[in-house]
Amino acid sequence: MKDFQYGFVPNRHLWYFEYYTPGNTGIFMKINKPLYSAQSKYQRIDIFETDFFGRVFSLDGITMTTEKDDFFYHEMLVHVPMFMHPNPKKVLVIGGGDGGSVREVLKHKSVEKVVMCEIDQMVVEAAKKYLPVTASKLDDPRVELVYEDGSQFVRNFKNEFDVIIIDSTDPTAGEGGHLFTEDFYKACYDALTENGTLSAESEDWLYDGAWMRLAYSRIRKTFPITKLYLGFMPTYPSGMWSYTFASKGLDPLKDFAPEKVKSFQEELKYYNEEIHKAAFALPTFLKNELEQL
C-alpha cells in the first residue's frame, strides 16, 4: 500500500462518501481499489482499500471498520466490561461480524467460549477473506459462530453468559433496530450470570444523540448499574463515540481493579487503566442531559 499521495487528480479516482444522519455532512475517502461488493439479504456490503485508512469495511454506506482505527472502537467496547467481570468464561458478542470484538475478547485468558451471533453470514465470510487484521481470531476453536438475529437468539438463554457485548449497526441501518429495544435489553439481562456485565455501542452525541439517549435510557430501565462512557473513534461520526456499560451490581469505577489491567500480558493500544476511569468522566452538557432523562 502506498502512502497518502499528494497531487492526484481528484476526478480520476473512485471516492467513498458516508453521509451522516442530517444528510448534509459526512466523511469521504479516496478508494484505491475496491475489493468486495455485494448485496446480502440484509444490506449492501463493501470492502475497499484506501491510502490513508488501510482497508475499509462499510455496510449500506456506513463505515463499520477501518484498519487504521479499528482498535480504538473494539478495545473500548470490549475491555471495559471484560475487566469489570471477576472471571469471564463465557461471552456473547451480538453483531460484530468483522471479528474485531471477538479478537479482543480472546485476549482474556479466562475465556473458554465466545459465541458470536451475527445476522449476516456474508459479512463474516467477506471479513475472513478481506479483513485479516480484524477477523484474525474468528477461526479460533473457542469461537462459535451463529447466524441469526441476535435479539431473538439471546432469548434462548437464562443465566448463561458472563459478559455480553452488543456490537451492533446503527438502529436505522439493516437489522440493527432490533438491538436497541427494551425487550432485547431485558433478554440480555436474563441471559447474563449473577456478576454479569454488558457493553453496547451507543452511537454519538452530535449526529445521533437521539439514539444515544434512547439506548442509554432503555438499558438503564433494565439494569441496576448503567453508565455511559466515551472514547475517540476517528472514522465514526463526530469522532466522539459513546458506549453504555451495564451490570447486575458491579460499578465500573468503585469496583474497578486497575492492577488487573496493569499486569495484563496481551498488547493493548488504546485501553489502559487510566483510560478506563477517564472514559466515564462526561462533559457537563452530557452529564446534565443524561440526568434529565
State yes or no: residue 104 binds ligand AAT (CB under 6 A): no
Beta pairing partners, 162: none
Distance separating alpha carbons of residues 272 and 181, to the nearest angstrom = 31
Q: Measured between alpha carbons, how far is residue 241 from residues 68, 73, 93 in Å?
A: 16, 8, 19
End-to-end CA distance of the chain: 47
Instruction: Give the x/- contact pattern for ligand AAT in 43-72, rule: CB under 6 A.
Output: ----------------x--x-xx-------
State yes or no: residue 242 binds ligand AAT (CB under 6 A): no
The residue (of 124 and 250) whose beta carbon lies closer to ligand AAT is: 124
The residue (of 76 and 119) whose beta carbon lies closer to ligand AAT is: 119
For 237, residues 6+ apart whose C-beta sits below 8 A from its C-beta are 20, 21, 27, 204, 206, 207, 208
Tell me the closest approach of the beta carbon of residue 160 to ligand AAT, in angstroms.
17
Among 103, 167, 188, 220, binds ligand AAT (CB under 6 A): 167
Among 21, 50, 58, 168, binds ligand AAT (CB under 6 A): 168
Distance separating alpha carbons of residues 153 and 169, to the nearest angstrom = 17
| 168 assigned ligand-binding residue | yes
What does the DSSP 8-state code read for residue 13? S
User: Which of 60, 70, 167, 208 is flagged as catalytic?
Assistant: 167
Active site residue 204: no
3-state DSSP call for residue 70? helix
Residues at the binding site for S-methyl-5'-thioadenosine are 43, 118, 149-150
Residues at the binding site are 43, 74, 98, 118, 149-150, 167-170
Catalytic machinery residues: 167
